[in-house]
Amino acid sequence: MEWFRSIMLPPQGSAFAAEVDTLYMFLFWLCSVLFVGIAFAALYFAYRYKYTPGRVTPHITHNTTLEIAWSVLPLILCGWIFFWGLNGWMKYSVAPGESMEIQITAKKWIWTFEYPDGSRTANDIHVPIGKPVKFIMTSDDVLHDFYVPDMRVKHDIVPGRYTEVWFTPTVLGVHHFTCAEYCGKGHSDMNGKMTVDNETDFKKWLETGGDDWKNYTPEVWGQMQRDQKGCATCHSIDGAKGQGPTWKGIYGTMVKMNDGKSYLVDDAYLQESMMQPNAKVVAGFEPIMPSFQGLLHPQDIRGLIAYIKTLK
Amino acid sequence: MAQALTHSEPHIGDRPRPAKNYLNETTGLWSWMSTVDHKRIGVMYLVAVLSAFFVGGMLALMIRLTLLTPSHKLFGKVLIDADTYNRVFTLHGAIMVFLFIIPSIPGSLANFVLPLMLGAKDVAFPRLNLASFYLWCTGALLAVTSMIFGAVDTGWTFYTPYSTTTQNSVGLMTMAVFILGFSSIFTGLNFIATVHKLRAPGMGWFDMPLFVWGTYATAVIQVLATPVLGITMVLLALERVFNIGIFDPKIGGDPVLFQHFFWFYSHPAVYIMILPGMAIISEIIPTFSRKTIFGYRAIAYSSVALALLGFLVWGHHMFVAGQSELATVVFSALTFLVAIPSGVKLFNWLATMYKGNISLETPMLYGISFILLFAIGGLTGIFLGALSTDVHLTDTYFVVAHFHYVMMGGTVIAFIGGVHYWWPKITGRMYSEKWGRVGCSLVFIGFNMTFLTQFFLGSKGMPRRYYNYLDQYQPLHAFSTFGSWVLGLGLIITAAYLLASLRKPMDAPDNPWGGTTMEWLTSSPPITHNFEDQPVLEHEPYDYRPKVKKHA
């Protein structure tokens, strides 16, 4: 039946996922059997008691035994399923005391994560395998929802409050997460990837941002950062106007700012725009970009600038 | 002269059709616009809600077309961008819920049939009835205006603080919803008074047709729940206009409070939508099985039970939204109770078919479709009521599929079945039975192609209200889109043959299906005052035992 589960549901990335899947598959088979029973009865009766002119039907008004049976038996079944679901819910609700705590700040349409050691990252997180991770979440603007399908967890993120979600990752590799509460234009692009590492790789990643970047040219690495760090949500590369100016052909030009002055778009300007985005805002755009201070490692900034240079 | 019936065979040509009926007694546009006749108001409502259904349906086809491929390209061009997509699904939801499904059966079919079933001349407050229709028109007009002024992109749920901070014309849309709410309250009030005061001599509460029971239970919810929606919309407007902090945390409000208010109405509203659908099925099944309904009292009580339980389960929309853990557990437990009365109805309909004398005309095909689709809608609700599975499935396509099975597979299928069932009574004409079967089959197949697929998408983790999606979901999305075309074709064929039937002379007998309720005693179409003489109840509802005609 494992093959069937893997057709129906995403890969399992946590112990909670296995818990959810067991109930899901039980309900799937239970409901399939009940549906086939109902459909068979309806279609069989329609066939078996096909219309014959003049036939008189029996006057059956009720049957107390039958009616009690089909009220009480489903009630017992429902009670059982309720407790089964409750059992899983308790595990989902209560995080173990020793969990690693990661803060999430959600904002249209970017995820920011802050680790206990103060390092920050956007849309791309790493977590160690086999250790419970608790996410403490809040929002800067509207409702969002942190949903990791492989872990089977999801919780709304509410501005002005802190909500929590936790799981223990059990499978190495990449698991996608995404926003599951409607938040406007970029809602469906508000996603990212979570890499489950072993302890050593995780520690290394936390210190240096990993050394993945060494496998790529700066231009390619920059292009990857554009997607991972959420730049792509606002900045197009084909000249289309987004929430922010397009990157196409912007490097090396003089650009007019909101304060009326013009500046040359060079390495220094680009770096300043990532760290203090509202220092100089291009004319015609709102000062809405969040600062990427602490989110971008030196190799990421170098890569992004190299990539923007290629966009003629 | 009291009229009696033999119940087993259709009555064709019992008596000559009266020359004057409610359609031709008076003529001209003004005679319709100023009418207080429940039948004419019902017909106007029917035209109005079906127009809304058409617009909402077109928007649905646009949604599915956008999702055909992850690049959204058709003939090399992006037809709909993310902003437009968000507006389209918002309008689809708002139009289908507020302009179509909620007023659909109560406004049109119940308006037409309920007084006839009670043997009454009209509803208790005919002018209020007309006012309700005009409120609907005003609400619809405002909704269309909001479309022209940039449209709303909040989703039909208007969740705060998105809805209080977005630049779009949310104000107009909430005003539209507020006014539509009053239209719904007026209809409900009217039906409650009508059922209490205008039953035919001899008709006790347990002699009423089950359609009346279902409509009555619906009316109670309409009157009790809708004001909360109105208040919520007023608070939303206050926050947007005067910056009073109610829902937006930036000015001291609480966004989760909005969800409580919203679902306190909108969950009972689910029963405003489904109860009339169940009520129609409770008429169709015994009529076409030519057998008395099984468990009359159980079906009647289960309508009331659903109406009451409907008020106690709103929190199941918010399991992961940030309400208290205890509340979540209580709401889950209460939600499972809903399964019992729903199951009771389903089993009773099946038991009614047992040893029946079943013919499969179009209304009965819709009746059986309803049983199958509502069963899927109800059973998948168990996945969402159970807490641990809900965490994974909520806010995904699983939920989208689930509520479409209940709302469309349930209510809309029952509504279309009801339109076919009472079409001869309303218009005096029979439609093409052959095309009726073709239409119903296409609707059934298309519906399942579209929405069964979405259970699988949701289980795989596809979130709802997504413009872009991962490539892995594309085959299922494409299949769902193909299904929407089959469904659309089925509905267009249905509209075509129903409209075509209007071109021919009146040919419907008084009682084409051999029904036992009082609307079949009068002519098709009925005279303006419904009955020539006050009908008197002479037998239990759905009594198919052979009868001796008492009067010639």
The pLDDT tens digits for A177-197 are 999 999 999 999 999 999 999
For residue A50, list its beta bridge partners: B358
A38/B296 touch (CB, cutoff 8 Å), yes or no: no
Longest Cα separation, chain A:
93
Q: In this prediction, what percent of chain B has a pLDDT beyond 70?
A: 96
Return the sign of the alpha-carbon dihedral for residues A214, A216, A217, A223. negative
Domain count, chain B: 1
Least confident residue range of B380-384, B458-462, B533-537: B533-537
B543 found inside a domain = no
pLDDT tier at B45 (50, 70, 90 boundaries)? very high
What pLDDT is stored for residue B76 in this prediction? Answer: 78
Residues A70 and B310: beta-carbon distance below 8 Å: no
Q: Give CA–CA dist A124/A205, Å, rounded.
A: 11
Which of B159, B262, B320, B354 to probe by mutation at the A interface, max A CB count within 10 Å? B320
DSSP of B129-144, one letter per residue? HHHHHHHHHHHHHHHH
For B57, how many CA atoms within 13 A lie in the half-sphere containing its CB? 22
* Count of A-B CB contacts under 8 Å: 265
Residues B109 and B41: beta-carbon distance below 8 Å: no
pLDDT tier at B14 (50, 70, 90 boundaries)? low
Does B11 have pLDDT greater than 50? no
List the domain range (segments joined by +) for residue B94: 41-520
B13 found inside a domain = no
- A74 to chain B, any CB pair closer than 8 A? The answer is yes
- The alpha carbon torsion through A291, A182, B176, B33 (nearest 10 deg) reads 140
Instruction: Provide the 8-state DSSP code for B412.
Output: I
For the A2-50+61-93 domain, the top CATH level (class) is mainly alpha
List the CATH code of the domain at A100-212: 2.60.40.420
Does B9 have pLDDT greater than 50? no
Q: Which position has the higher pLDDT, B3 or B415?
A: B415
B383/A20 touch (CB, cutoff 8 Å), yes or no: no
ipTM of the complex as predicted = 0.92
Q: How far, CA to CA in Å, does A56 sit from each of B224, B292, B348, B475?
A: 44, 11, 20, 51
Least confident residue range of B233-237, B279-283, B364-368: B233-237
The reply to whether omega before B513 is within 30° of 0 (cis) is: no
Longest Cα separation, chain B:
76
Q: Which residues of B touch A31 (CB under 8 A)?
A: 379-380, 382-383
Residues B535 and B115: beta-carbon distance below 8 Å: no
From the CA of A280, how many Å to the nearest CA of chain B?
25
* List of E strands, B335-386: none
What is the residue type of A5?
R
Whole-number mean pLDDT of chain B? 92
Q: Tell me what the mean pLDDT of segment B230-252 comes to.
A: 89
Residue B441 CB neighbour total at 10 angstroms: 15
CATH superfamily membership of A217-310: Cytochrome c-like domain (1.10.760.10)
Does B307 have pLDDT greater than 50? yes
B534 found inside a domain = no
Two structure tokens written together for A59: 């006057």
Q: Nearest residue of B to residue A139 by CA position?
A: B249
B7 found inside a domain = no
Closest CA to B198 of B136, B132, B129: B129
| Residue ranges of chain A with per-residue pLDDT less than 70 | none
B542 found inside a domain = no
Instruction: Provide the 8-state DSSP code for A177.
Output: E
Q: Give CA–CA dist A76/A89, Å, rounded.
A: 20
Does B7 have pLDDT greater than 70? no
For residue A154, list its beta bridge partners: A147
B33 found inside a domain = no
Residues B102 and B12: beta-carbon distance below 8 Å: no
B15 found inside a domain = no
Tokens 């969040």 belong to: A290
From the CA of B456, how many Å to the nearest CA of chain A?
6
Does B18 have pLDDT greater than 60? yes
Q: Which position has the higher pLDDT, B171 or B350?
A: B350
Cα-only R_g, chain B:
23
B26 found inside a domain = no
pTM, rounded to two decimals:
0.89
Q: How far, CA to CA in Å, does B410 sit from each of A74, A288, B94, B375?
A: 21, 45, 18, 9
- A39 to chain B, any CB pair closer than 8 A? The answer is yes
B320/A81 touch (CB, cutoff 8 Å), yes or no: no
Q: What is the CATH number of the domain that holds B378?
A: 1.20.210.10
Cα-only R_g, chain A:
27
Interval B82-112: pLDDT, tens: 989 999 999 999 999 999 999 999 999 999 9
Residues B372 and B390: beta-carbon distance below 8 Å: no
Q: Tell me which long-range contacts A37-43 makes (C-beta under 8 A, separation of at least 24).
A: A38/B346, A38/B350, A38/B371, A38/B372, A38/B375, A39/B372, A39/B375, A41/B350, A41/B353, A42/B350, A42/B353, A42/B368, A42/B371, A42/B372, A43/B368
Q: How far, CA to CA in Å, does B305 sit from each of B205, B352, B354, B400, B421?
A: 16, 21, 25, 25, 27
Q: Tell me what the mean pLDDT of segment B299-319 comes to.
A: 95
A39/B383 touch (CB, cutoff 8 Å), yes or no: no
Q: Give CA–CA dist A260/A284, Å, rounded.
A: 11
Closest CA to B354 of A51, A65, A42, A39: A42
Does B413 have pLDDT greater than 80? yes
Instruction: Provide the 8-state DSSP code for A188.
Output: G
Instruction: Provide the 8-state DSSP code for A232.
Output: G
Closest CA to B182 of B220, B216, B134: B134
Q: In this prediction, what percent of chain B has a pLDDT beyond 90?
A: 81
From the CA of A262, how many Å to the nearest CA of chain B?
30
Q: Tell me what the mean pLDDT of segment B515-540 comes to.
A: 91
From the CA of A44, how many Å to the nearest CA of chain B?
9
